Chain A
């Protein structure tokens, strides 16, 4: 990894989150988990950021805000979606004011499942995002992240 991905600056936007994911993200920055070990700095504004961390699903009012924040991050940038709300709408998917996961509005690079994901899971997500950031700097099109489901069948009975 070059210096580039050693300095991911983060801006966090809370869309429709119930706070569960937010406070876990904040907990990641605090001494117990200390994301700054990876050079992460919570800069609080899109202009200085490389990583957009989103929690919560999008609704009609915050969708344009999310888009705006995303647009104001200079390239190259990655988006990390924390929690199931952010991925699919989670338990709120059926709510009338919920549009669904944030991939409806902006491209997402990493989805971290969980409700809320525990800090360790978030760190995993960040580490993955760093790799993608590095690839993006190289101009590679990394595509958008997948959300695979797990399907199991009964084992074939002999």
Chain B
């Protein structure tokens, strides 16, 4: 009786931080279908990485995505190191974890702000992003870049964190924790926020498994999966407890990430506490050869690098499967049945990063 509403949602849409299009089909006010159109950010980075030498590629790979740039370079370097049988000095491993977990904090804060914005809670967004600046400052001070750290390299890290800065890192952790305590209740308890997240965009455990979602999205649906448990790098020294929720809705995804914020703070502190003295990188010689798969837990979930060297300084194949890529099919399962006003919240609840999805 009523005609279907068909609207393009994106690529230029204020709630979408990045261009992607969903062709939304609505019946009355229910969304009945969403077909994604991607490719707005496809650059062809994998191919370019095969044309640059494997060290230059690090800088390229950081720019797969500006949000978890460090984790990309870390995953890549770990892969190359495995291929070249390089033993990374322990100090470098711990430093990597400090940066990686700070990156996770900044990424989760960024996401939380955007989520707040997607349901129109502007001041919460502002507050969270203000908090995020604290992390950016310390990253800038330790690594030399606010979002592009550029510190990871094959064989270790390019910079050490001197003792006085280490103190500052710890101080920042305390500052952050205090700040979190201020606004986290609003994300978790506020009535208006819960109205927008509880029961919205439900992904059941079965569907989550079937669609192969990863990271907080999977964990919020009750799937126990956190690659840090697999103890790569310095995670071998720490116990990481995956944060699991059962409900699979946007609220559960928030809860998972909120707990991960505290968990990351903890990991930063632990890794500072156990920071060994010594070298922070070792020179590498030769060229990579062979095939490796390197997996790292990014803020959005597991990233997979498949690297194939041929003994020259150019790789035969640099392949990356990023978390959002894996989460997209899950997203498509969440949307139908919701209302138009829930679409942004659902999209943001998977913390989409199209840049890495399309590379």
- Whether the complex brings A and B within 8 Å at their CB atoms is answered yes
Interface set of A (CB-CB < 8 Å, partner B)? 11, 13-24, 26-27, 30-32, 42-46, 56-57, 59, 61-62, 65, 68-69, 90-92, 94-98, 115-116, 118
Question: Does B45 reach chain A (CB closer than 8 Å)?
Answer: yes
Given contacts A18-B355, A118-B146, contact A96 B14 (CB under 8 A): no
Return the chain B residue nearest A83 by Cβ. B66
Q: Which of A18, A31, A65, A118 contacts B63 (CB 8 A)?
A: A18
Question: Does B40 reach chain A (CB closer than 8 Å)?
Answer: yes
Return the chain B residue nearest A20 by Cβ. B66
Return the chain A residue nearest B137 by Cβ. A32
Q: How far is the CA of A43 from the CA of B14 in the complex (A)?
A: 8
Residues from chain B with Cβ under 8 Å of A20 in the complex: 63, 65-67, 69, 147-148
Kindly supply a per-residue 1/0 record for chain B positions 1-31, scoring 1 wherever the CB is within 8 Å of any chain A CB and 0 otherwise: 0000000000111110111000000000000
Contact between B147 and A24, CB atoms less than 8 A apart: yes
Return the chain B residue nearest A44 by Cβ. B14
Contact between A30 and B133, CB atoms less than 8 A apart: yes
Chain B interface size, as a band, is 35 or more
Give 10 closest A-B pairs by Cβ, nearest first. A20-B66, A44-B14, A30-B129, A95-B44, A19-B66, A96-B44, A95-B43, A31-B130, A97-B44, A18-B63
Q: Which of A19, A30, A56, A94 contacts B353 (CB 8 A)?
A: A19
Question: Does B60 reach chain A (CB closer than 8 Å)?
Answer: yes
Residues from chain B with Cβ under 8 Å of A22 in the complex: 17-18, 66
Return the chain B residue nearest A61 by Cβ. B39
Given contacts A16-B43, A18-B64, A97-B43, contact A65 B12 (CB under 8 A): yes
Contact between B48 and A17, CB atoms less than 8 A apart: no
Contact between B11 and A62, CB atoms less than 8 A apart: yes
Residues from chain B with Cβ under 8 Å of A23 in the complex: 17, 66-67, 110, 147
Return the chain B residue nearest A34 by Cβ. B126
Contact between B129 and A116, CB atoms less than 8 A apart: no
**A53 → B minimal CB distance (Å):** 12
Question: Does B47 reach chain A (CB closer than 8 Å)?
Answer: yes
Q: How many A-B residue pairs have CB under 8 A?
A: 125
Residues from chain A with Cβ under 8 Å of B67 in the complex: 19-20, 23
Question: Does B59 reach chain A (CB closer than 8 Å)?
Answer: yes
Q: How far is the CA of A96 from the CA of B69 in the complex (A)?
A: 22
**A39 → B minimal CB distance (Å):** 17
Given contacts A30-B126, A118-B146, contact A14 B17 (CB under 8 A): yes
Q: How far is the CA of A44 from the CA of B12 in the complex (A)?
A: 8
Contact between B51 and A94, CB atoms less than 8 A apart: yes
Q: How far is the CA of A69 from the CA of B14 in the complex (A)?
A: 13
Contact between A91 and B59, CB atoms less than 8 A apart: yes
Q: How far is the CA of A98 from the CA of B67 in the complex (A)?
A: 21
Return the chain B residue nearest A118 by Cβ. B146
Return the chain A residue nearest B48 by Cβ. A95
Residues from chain A with Cβ under 8 Å of B18 in the complex: 14, 17, 19, 22
**A31 → B minimal CB distance (Å):** 4
Contact between A59 and B126, CB atoms less than 8 A apart: no
Contact between A45 and B14, CB atoms less than 8 A apart: yes
Q: How far is the CA of A79 from the CA of B66 in the complex (A)?
A: 23
Q: How far is the CA of A67 from the CA of B106 in the complex (A)?
A: 33
> Which parts of B170-189 form the interface with A (CB within 8 Å)?
none
Residues from chain B with Cβ under 8 Å of A30 in the complex: 113, 125-126, 129-130, 133
Q: Which of B69, B125, B133 has the largest count of A CB atoms less than 10 A from its CB?
A: B133
Q: Which of A24, A44, A68, A97 contacts B42 (CB 8 A)?
A: A97
Residues from chain A with Cβ under 8 Å of B12 in the complex: 11, 13, 45-46, 65, 68-69
Question: Does B41 reach chain A (CB closer than 8 Å)?
Answer: yes
Return the chain A residue nearest B10 by Cβ. A65
Contact between B63 and A92, CB atoms less than 8 A apart: yes
Residues from chain B with Cβ under 8 Å of A98 in the complex: 43-44
Contact between A95 and B47, CB atoms less than 8 A apart: yes
**A148 → B minimal CB distance (Å):** 23
Residues from chain B with Cβ under 8 Å of A46 in the complex: 12
Q: How far is the CA of A97 from the CA of B47 in the complex (A)?
A: 10
A-B contact pairs, 27 of them (CB 8 A): A11-B12, A14-B17, A17-B18, A17-B355, A19-B65, A19-B353, A20-B147, A21-B66, A23-B17, A24-B66, A24-B146, A30-B126, A30-B130, A30-B133, A45-B14, A56-B41, A61-B39, A62-B41, A65-B11, A65-B12, A65-B40, A90-B63, A95-B44, A96-B47, A115-B148, A116-B146, A116-B147
